[in-house]
């Protein structure tokens, strides 16, 4: 009888051992599959700073359209809402986010803008009204009203479209180019300014 009891216990122990070994093999396979999957997946970082109006994500070499929109609006403020006193300070902030290849061009444009603002005692304000985002090309087109002032007096208001061409450098979104794409300013007014 002891022999049969020992045989039953031994059979139960072998069954438990085999079951636990099977579960361990399945868990090991799942762990290996997850590790392998992580090699081909980029981590998505969700960013929700308090001063911005919406959350956005960055995943590998891709940026959410909301991120492109927020950054274009943010940079447009620094580039287009300027006075003769703030243009260089705001420009220095923008230069931190410019690709190295475009740094010289941006710096020269800032110095030229400062001369023009000081010579005419101008300040400008841009009120964006439309945003067109091309996430694949990392391009954002901002349309709105550019208003120019001398003191408190508005001297012009022009509908213009500006383009930001961004570049991804090691997961950072940097400005590659900033240009005027379309303007409703008449040719006579452009020549005089």
Residue 28 confidence class, pLDDT cut points 50, 70, 90 = very high
Please give the pLDDT value at position 63.
85
Residue 46 confidence class, pLDDT cut points 50, 70, 90 = low
Q: Under 8 Å CB-to-CB from 114, ≥6 apart: which residues?
A: 84, 87, 88, 91
Please give the pLDDT value at position 45.
67
Please give the pLDDT value at position 82.
93
Q: Is 83 exposed, middle or buried (0-12, 13-18, 19+ CB in 10 A)?
A: middle
Produce one character per residue of 112-123: b if its CB has 16 or more CB atoms within 10 Å, e if not: ebbeebeeeebb
Sign of torsion, CA 69 72 74 77?
Answer: negative
Q: Which CATH number fits domain 64-192: 3.20.20.70, 3.40.50.2000, 3.10.450.230, 3.40.720.10?
A: 3.10.450.230
Please give the pLDDT value at position 51.
58
The DSSP element (H or E) to which 67 belongs, if any, is helix 65-80
Using an 8 Å Cβ cutoff, are 167 and 138 in contact?
yes
Whether pLDDT at 190 is above 50:
no
What's the pLDDT tens digit per position in 162-189? 999 999 887 788 999 999 999 887 544 4
Whether pLDDT at 43 is above 80:
no
Query: Phi and psi dihedrals of 52, rounded to 5?
Result: -95, 160
> Mean pLDDT over residues 102-118, rounded?
91
Residue 60 confidence class, pLDDT cut points 50, 70, 90 = confident
**Percentage of the chain lying above the pLDDT 90 cut:** 50
Specify the higher pLDDT residue, 44 or 5: 5
| Distance between CA atoms of residues 136 and 141, nearest Å | 14
Q: Where are the beta strands (DSSP E) in the chain?
A: 44-47, 56-59, 62-63, 82-83, 122-134, 139-150, 153-169, 172-183
Q: Would the pTM of this model clear 0.85, i.e. be above it?
A: no
What's the pLDDT tens digit per position in 126-156? 999 999 999 889 999 999 999 999 888 989 9
Quick check: helix, strand or coil at residue 92?
Answer: helix
């Amino acid at each position: 009888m002891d022999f049969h009891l020992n045989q039953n216990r031994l059979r139960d122990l072998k069954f438990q051992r085999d079951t636990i070994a099977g579960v361990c093999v399945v868990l090991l396979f799942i762990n290996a599959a997850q590790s392998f999957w992580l090699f081909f997946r980029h981590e998505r970082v969700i960013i929700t700073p308090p001063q911005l109006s919406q959350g956005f994500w960055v995943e590998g070499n891709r940026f959410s359209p909301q991120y492109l929109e927020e950054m274009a609006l943010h940079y447009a403020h620094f580039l287009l809402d300027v006075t003769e006193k703030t243009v260089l300070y705001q420009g220095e902030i923008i230069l931190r986010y410019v690709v190295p290849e475009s740094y010289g061009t941006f710096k020269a444009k800032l110095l030229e803008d400062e001369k023009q603002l000081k010579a005419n005692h101008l300040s400008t304000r841009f009120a964006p009204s439309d945003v067109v985002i091309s996430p694949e090309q990392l391009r954002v087109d901002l349309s709105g009203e550019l208003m120019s002032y001398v003191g408190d007096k508005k001297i012009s208001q022009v509908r213009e479209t500006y383009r930001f061409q961004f570049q991804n450098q090691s997961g950072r979104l940097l400005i590659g180019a900033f240009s005027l794409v379309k303007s409703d300013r008449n040719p006579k007014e452009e020549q005089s300014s």
